[in-house]
Amino acid sequence: MTANNPDFGCMKIFVLLSRFPYPLEKGDKLRAYHQIRHLAKNHEIHLFALNDVKIKPEHRKALEPYCKSIHVFDLSKAASVLNIVKAFFTGKPLQVGYFFCASAKRQIRKIINEIQPDHIFCQLIRVTEYVKELKIPKTLDYQDVFSKGVDRRCETSPVYMKPVLRTEYKRLLKYEKNIFDYFDHKTIISIPDRDLIPHPDKNQIEVVINGVDTDFFSPLEIEKEYDLVFTGNMGYPPNVNAANFLVKEILPLVQQKHPDVKVMLAGATPHPSVQALQSKYVKVTGWVEDIRECYAKANIFIAPMQIGTGLQNKLLEAMSMKIPSITSDLANSALKAKPGEEILIGNSAEELGRQIILLLEDQSLANKLAENGYNFVHQNYNWASATQKLENLMIEKG
């Protein structure tokens, strides 16, 4: 289960999540799963996860080797809607309200009283209301800057959604600032994200990057069926936006020169607007058992992100599989790969289209990009070393 390493001393760590961290189809789940997996080597992990979807027995079993105890609290849809209404009237962000439940708080406090943890680790501001006032050393992983993500969504949202998103943006901005002082330590996924936290002491936030499982995401020899692949949770607004941008604006420009170019959009819970993109030249897969096959079936990976924040795990995975990759400045600001050497960058449909055509027509460049991207990820994005920084933070400062 856990190994007590005398160099560190075994701590009891209470991990509080807004989602059960398996299967690994969302970025927050992926980050939490690997952090738990590595922290469990030296510490006793007690997991408490909120949940609003069905958890299969095999999902729970995936966490059992790393956790001394696992607690799941099911959020009912009716209660969540009521909590959103309450949040609206109290001035809290709606997504903080969605994940808050008084009975869950009572259960969390009961478990904490029983196990007496040495440290509490919260992933995302969604769960901070449950423990913010407890006098136990606490770490908050902001991970992403929700306020900025909502702000960027305002630009591309329908008119009727703009007032709601603008209000949520202002509430998140205030909450991200105020919650800072309740926690002993704070972490975030990248420097650009840290710079967006609206607190005067934001430089105290430790940057704890994501890693990639390079043993799992390694090159596969599979026949190529598609020219382009884009992966991710296809119900997540930044991915929905990127998928539509790719198919409606970028692909027609590429097909002017290469009319038979095919695209695969791979990932769980595709939004209706993503499902509508299915055509002779566009495959929408929905949930897939092994996402590696989707990467390997394509010549080029593209993540044309226009909104959203944080590090794109999909880029790490594709590059680790030696797939030449293209993205936007927005996504590369967290990744920090060298444009033209390890990745290609474009922002407009015209720029991204030109980069695709360049790779389709220049195999030597595609090979160089794939090799350099592979080396870049292996050298810079390792889960063990990334989580070591989090572990040291917890140990050194209590």
- 377-391 pLDDT, tens per residue? 999 998 998 999 999
pLDDT > 90 in the chain, percent: 87
pLDDT band at 8 (very low <50, low <70, confident <90, very high): very low
Q: What is the pLDDT of residue 226?
A: 98
- For the stretch 48-71, pLDDT in tens is 999 988 899 999 999 999 999 999
Strand order of the β-sheet with 185-188 is 69-74, 44-51, 12-17, 119-123, 138-143, 185-188, 206-207
CA gap 120, 48 in Å, rounded = 11
Give one DSSP letter per residue of 194-224, joined into a string. HTTS--TTGGGSEE------TTTS-------
Q: Count H helices, E strands: the chain?
A: 17, 13
Over range 328-353, report the average pLDDT: 96
CA dist 217 and 40 (Å) reads 22
pLDDT at 3 over 50: no
**Per 3-state DSSP, what percentage of the chain is helix, strand, and coil (rounded to 5)?**
50, 15, 35
| pLDDT above 50 for 36 | yes
Q: Which amino acid is at 141?
A: D
Residue-wise pLDDT for 118-154, tens only, equals 999 999 999 999 999 999 999 999 999 999 989 988 8
Domains of the chain: 12-211+382-396 (3.40.50.2000), 226-380 (3.40.50.2000)
Tokens (6 digits) for 316: 């790490």
What is the DSSP code string of 298-355? Answer: EEEEEE---S--S--HHHHHHHHTT--EEE-HHHHHHH---BTTTBEE--SHHHHHHH
Rounded to 10 degrees, the C-alpha dihedral 87/95/238/373 comes to 150
Identity of the residue numbered 293: E
pTM attached to this predicted model: 0.83
For residues 10-27, give the mean pLDDT.
Answer: 94
The pLDDT assigned to 4 comes to 38
Which tens digit of pLDDT belongs to each residue from 207-232?
Answer: 999 999 999 999 999 999 999 999 99
Average pLDDT, the chain: 94
Are β-strands 138-143 and 344-345 bridged in parallel, bridged antiparallel, or unpaired?
unpaired
| Res 155: pLDDT | 82
Q: How far is Cα 300 from Cα 250, in angstroms, rounded to an integer?
A: 14
The position carrying tokens 């927050």 is 28
Q: Comparing 183-187, 310-314, 361-365, which segment has the lowest mean pLDDT?
A: 310-314
**Lowest model confidence (mean pLDDT) among 76-85, 256-265, 291-300, 365-374:** 76-85
CA distance 294 to 354: 23
Pairing mode, strands 206-207 and 282-286: unpaired
Tokens, residue 72? 């799941």
- For residue 206, which phi and psi values (nearest 5 degrees)? -80, 135
Residue reference for tokens 């170019």: 261
Q: Which of 68, 66, 305, 202 is nearest to 314 (CA)?
A: 305
Tell me what pLDDT residue 397 has: 57
